[in-house]
Amino acid sequence: ETGVTQTPRHLVMGMTNKKSLKCEQHLGHNAMYWYKQSAKKPLELMFVYNFKEQTENNSVPSRFSPECPNSSHLFLHLHTLQPEDSALYLCASSLIGTSGTDTQYFGPGTRLTVL
Contact 86, 112 (CB under 8 A): yes
* Cβ closest to another protein, residue 1 vs residue 16: 1
47, 36 in Cβ contact below 8 A?
Answer: no
Contact between 112 and 6 under an 8 Å Cβ cutoff? The reply is: no
Q: How far apart are CA 112 and CA 115, in angstroms?
A: 10
The yes or no reply on residue 42 touching another protein (CB under 8 A) is: yes
- Residue 48 interacts with another protein (CB under 8 A): yes or no: yes
* 40 is an interface residue for another protein by CB under 8 A: yes
Residue 45 as a binder of another protein (CB under 8 A): the answer is yes
Does 106 bind another protein (CB under 8 A)? Our answer is yes
Query: Per rule CB under 8 A, is residue 98 in the interface with another protein?
Result: yes
Q: Which of residues 50-69 bind another protein (CB under 8 A)?
A: 56
Helix (H, G, I), strand (E, B) or coil at 106: strand
Rule CB under 8 A: choose which of 16, 59, 70, 103 binds another protein: 103
Task: Bin 28: left if φ > 0, else alpha if -120 < ψ < 50, else beta.
Answer: left
* Interaction site with another protein (CB under 8 A): 2, 4, 9, 31, 33, 40-45, 48, 56, 90, 92, 94, 97-109
